[in-house]
Structure 1
Amino acid sequence: MEQFDNIDDYIEDLKGKLANNPQCGNTHYNLGVAYLARRDFVEAESEFLDAVANSPKMAEAYVQLGGIALQRGDMKGCMNYNIQATQQRPFFAVPWGNIGFVQLQMGEVDQAHKSLKKAIKYDPDFVQAKVTMASVLINMQDYEEADKLLKDILDAHPEFGPAWNNKAIIDAHFEQWEDAKKCIAKAEEFGFDVPEDFKKEVESK
């Protein structure tokens, strides 16, 4: 990629390329990503829609559209775009991870379990999917499995806040309050907002 001093120059350059070749799905996609970097979600969405209009098989653009939908709180939209991504690229782990996340948020725990299994199968190092899977296992009250999974994640990624939060939930379930407290501190140290109610519960023990 050519070097640009700032994101605005890069955006102008991509717009110039599109003026010469408006049907290039890749350029629309890159422009969408550049707008996302600027947190300009409306422009980004428009470019990703143009990307899939010109390159209907571009699974990544569907994933990005799903992310924008989620940002707006549109769970259904997020789900639908990620399903479209899996239809274009069935072995692409990211949309399966996103689908599992949305299913969990919607309380569809068994479906989430299936989707996340696929995500982890297609990309065994997909940390976000593994942490969501740990949340699913906690929901299924399979605390031992969840604990094993989280230990693996934290061995490899000790700075991953959401994993520490899940570990705290498991420690609290086993009434290991001191451990839970340490895990909450770690989760917060790495930027995760631990729910106040849960913190109070652990501190009161």
Structure 2
Amino acid sequence: MTQSNVEAKIQELKAGLVQNPECAVTHYNIGVHYMALRDFETAKGYLQEAIRKSPDLAEAYVQLGGIAMNEGDLDGCFSYNEMASKIRHRFAVPHGNMGFVHLQRGDVDKAIASLKRAISFDPQFVQAQATLGNAYYMQGDLDGCLAQCQKAIDLEPNFGPAYNTMGLACMDKKDFAAARKYFEKAMNTGYEVAPEIWQELEQAG
């Protein structure tokens, strides 16, 4: 959707809100559209209002967690996703997001547990599959990392971060030819491989 389309949709939703001001889903949808415009402060207000209207709207907590993550607030992100997971225990996304936060904090074992839970609820959850591969890499399980990232690639062949992680694992295994292949695949998806990676590969020959 173009920006003008998103803005038009917001006006349409706001018109609906005049008719039914207690509708939590409309507040939620307006919030999501403001997120698309990267107007996170306005989005936050609508999402919080959605929760006030309907405290069990788990998706709204997840979106607020996304805004917190965008602001660099890991604690806020985790807290919102934890609330969402308690409301809808089998909702994969908050478990995946909590796994990502655990990983950012360096708590790899907790990350792996959360990510496996997310995948058990939704095996097609590409981001969780790839993040689990990253967790295995951080744990030093290079073969586990490669096998797990391949699962993400099988689901979404253009998922650049998974190729990048596979490249890092191959570098650690001293398989520089395979590493170069994976980094090139990552770049072909539009993912930006760090310049120092290429320097290291050049030095390795």
Quick check: TM above 0.5?
Answer: yes
Note if contact 1:187-1:194 (Cα within 8 Å) is conserved in structure 2: yes
Residue ranges of structure 1 left out of the alignment (5+ in a row): none
What's 2:61 paired with? Answer: 62
What's 1:196 paired with? Answer: 195
Instruction: Describe the SS at the equivalent of 1:7.
Output: helix
Letter in 1 for 2:112: H
What's 2:180 paired with? Answer: 181
**TM-score (norm: length of structure 1):** 0.94
Letter in 2 for 1:83: E
The answer to whether 1:136 aligns with 2:135 is yes
Note if contact 2:58-2:85 (Cα within 8 Å) is conserved in structure 1: yes
The answer to whether 1:7 aligns with 2:6 is yes
- Separation in 2 of the partners of 1:203 and 1:170? 17
Instruction: Describe the SS at the equivalent of 1:47.
Output: helix
Deviations 1:111-133 (A, max 9, x none): 11110010000001111001110
- Separation in 2 of the partners of 1:27 and 1:131? 33
Q: What is the CA distance between 1:157 and its match in structure 2?
A: 1.9
Matched ranges for 1:69-80 at <5 A? 69-80=68-79
Note if contact 2:24-2:54 (Cα within 8 Å) is conserved in structure 1: yes
Number of residue-to-residue matches in the alignment: 201
**TM-score (norm: length of structure 2):** 0.94
- Separation in 2 of the partners of 1:16 and 1:145? 52
The answer to whether 1:106 aligns with 2:105 is yes
- Separation in 2 of the partners of 1:145 and 1:166? 12
Q: What is the CA distance between 1:154 and its match in structure 2?
A: 1.9
- Separation in 2 of the partners of 1:12 and 1:194? 40
Matched ranges for 1:13-32 at <5 A? 13-32=12-31
- Separation in 2 of the partners of 1:144 and 1:45? 41
- Percent same amino acid at aligned positions? 42
- Separation in 2 of the partners of 1:155 and 1:84? 31
Note if contact 1:153-1:163 (Cα within 8 Å) is conserved in structure 2: yes
Letter in 1 for 2:181: K
Letter in 2 for 1:154: I
- Separation in 2 of the partners of 1:119 and 1:155? 18
Letter in 2 for 1:146: C
Deviations 1:43-99 (A, max 9, x none): 111111011111110110000000011111111110000001001100000000000
Letter in 1 for 2:14: K
Note if contact 1:181-1:203 (Cα within 8 Å) is conserved in structure 2: no
Letter in 2 for 1:131: A
Residue ranges of structure 2 left out of the alignment (5+ in a row): none
- Separation in 2 of the partners of 1:156 and 1:114? 21
What's 1:51 paired with? Answer: 50
Q: What is the CA distance between 1:10 and its match in structure 2?
A: 1.4
Q: What is the CA distance between 1:202 and its match in structure 2?
A: 2.1
